[in-house]
Amino acid sequence: MKRRNAIKSLALLPVTGNILRINPALSAPVAENRLPSSGPMPDLHREAFVMDGHTHVMSRELVLKTDIGQRYPDGTVDLPRAKEGGLDAMFFSVYTPENYYPGRFETKNTFRVINLALDQIRKNNSMIELALTASDIERISKKGKMAAFLDLEGGYDLYGDLDLLRALYKLGLRSMQLTAHSTTNAFIDACNDVYTWGGINDHGRAVIREMNNLGMVINVAHASNDAIIQSVAASRHPVIYSHGGFYKIVDHPRCITDEAAKAIASKGGVIGVHFGSLFNNPKYWAWQKPKNPIKVQPNPQPKIPRILSTQVTTQTIEDVDREFARELPFTYNETIPDEYWMHVDQLARVIDYGVNLVGEDHIALGSDLDGGPELPREIRDISDYPQITIAMQKLGYSDQRIKKILGLNWLRVIRQVTG
C-alpha cells in the first residue's frame, strides 16, 4: 500500500455521548449534542485525492502563538485532525480581517501572516509542504504529506498595489480573494458592503491581468454579483468562488446567484460549497434572518470606498492583535435548536443543486473550517471530512463524480492557472 493510502486508512475513532469543546470566552467545557462519528473511513474517501478550497489557518498561530502541527482542544482545524480526515491538500487560507483595515495595517498583517505560514509549514515538514503548482501538489501527496496552497482572504492592500502583489507571489502566494474580505476596496465591490464601482473598475481589471500574467488563481468569494461576472469576463484564466452557498437555496448576499455560477463554470472555474448552515439550510436562515436584516445595496456611490474615507490613528497593530485575539478561535458555540440544525445530507443536497446547475466538473468543497461555520451535526471538525463522501454516496453519485468534487476539480483549475 502506498504511504499516502496507509496514512489515510487510519479509522476514525467512534465518539459517544456529547462532544466537549472548550469555549475560550467561558474557559469551561461546553456540551454540544452532536452525532457521533460513524466509524471507519470509506474506501473511496481513502483512495480519493481530497482537497479543501477554504480552511482558515494562521490567525491563532499569529496572535496566540500556537502551532498548527499540534492537536488543539478547540477550533476545527489542525494538521493531526486534517490527516485523520483524509485531507491531501488544502487552500491554506491566510487571513487579514477587517480589524486591520481602519489603521491601514492590512499590508503589514498580510506579510506577517504569510511569513508565519511559511515558517509553520517548514516547522511541520513531516506532515505538510508548500505547493506552488498542481504538479507540486501531486508530488507532495504521493509522499503521504499534505500540500498547502497559499490563498489570501482579506485585503493585502486596500488600494491594490501591483508591486506588493508581485512581492507576495515571490513569497509563494498563488491564490487571492479580490475583495478585502467583506469590504469594498479601491477596485472591487464586496457583496455585503456599499457598492462603489458597479462591480470592478479599471484598476480591478489591472489586478486581474497581473494575476493572470503571474499565474495566480483569482478568487471571487465575497464579491458582489456584478463583480463576479465582470471578473470572470476580464480574466483569461478560470476563476474560482472558494466558499459559499447558492442564492436560490438561501437568499443571503454571500451566496452565489445561478447567473454568476454559470459564468464561472463557462470559463472552466469551480464553485466551492461552504459547510455552514447559514448559507445552506433555508430553515436555519429563516430562523436567523430576523436577527440579521440585510439591506438592499444602493446603486454605485461616489467613488470613495467607505473604508478609505477615514483612518484610525489611535491604535497600534499590537492593540489590534489583542482585540482580534478575543475573537479566536472562530467557532460557533451557540446552541442550535434541533429543527434548525442541518444534517450532512442537506449539505449533500446543496452540492447536488450545484451539480445540476453547472455540472460535476465545476463543484468542489470549500468548508470554511475554523472560519466559524455552523457545522452539520455529523461534522465536529476536519477529522469528520469522510462524512461528506458518505453523504454523496447516499445520493447515488458515481465514484468518479465524488472524486471530482472531493478534490480533482480544484487540482484541474490550479493546473490550468499555474501550469
Cα torsion angle, 371, 374, 375, 381, sign: positive
Amino acid at residue number 390: I
pLDDT reading at 281 higher than 60: yes
What is d(CA 330, CA 56) in angstroms, rounded to the nearest whole number?
Answer: 9
Residues with Cβ within 8 Å of 213's Cβ and at least 6 positions away in sequence, in order, are: none
Number of domains in the chain: 1
Write out pLDDT tens, residues 58-108: 999 999 999 999 999 999 999 999 999 999 999 999 999 999 999 999 999
Is the CB of residue 238 less than 8 Å from the CB of residue 416?
yes
So what's the pLDDT on residue 293?
Answer: 75
Cell reading at 174 = 498563488
Query: For the CA atoms of the chain, what is the radius of gyration?
Result: 20
What is d(CA 234, CA 209) in angstroms, rounded to the nearest whole number?
Answer: 8
Q: Hey, which residues does 38 pair with through a beta bridge?
A: none
Residues with Cβ within 8 Å of 365's Cβ and at least 6 positions away in sequence, in order, are: 51, 52, 53, 272, 273, 275, 388, 405, 406
Pairing of strands 175-177, 239-244: unpaired
Cell reading at 134 = 498542481
46 — pLDDT class (breaks 50, 70, 90): very high
Longest dimension (CA), the chain: 62
Is the CB of residue 189 less than 8 Å from the CB of residue 196?
yes
Q: Whole domain around residue 251: which residue ranges?
A: 3-418
So what's the pLDDT on residue 300?
Answer: 64
pLDDT reading at 160 higher than 60: yes
Question: 30-39, 202-211, 275-284: lowest mean pLDDT where?
Answer: 30-39
For 77, which DSSP code?
-
Give the domain CATH number at 99.
Answer: 3.20.20.140
Amino acid at residue number 281: N
What is d(CA 33, CA 335) in angstroms, rounded to the nearest whole number?
Answer: 9
Cell reading at 372 = 466559524
Cα 110–chain centre separation: 16
Q: Which of 308, 404, 371, 385 is nearest to 87 (CA)?
A: 385
Average pLDDT, the chain: 90
Q: Give backbone dihedrals phi and psi of 365, rounded to 5 degrees, phi first.
A: -120, 130
4, containing H or E segment = helix 3-8
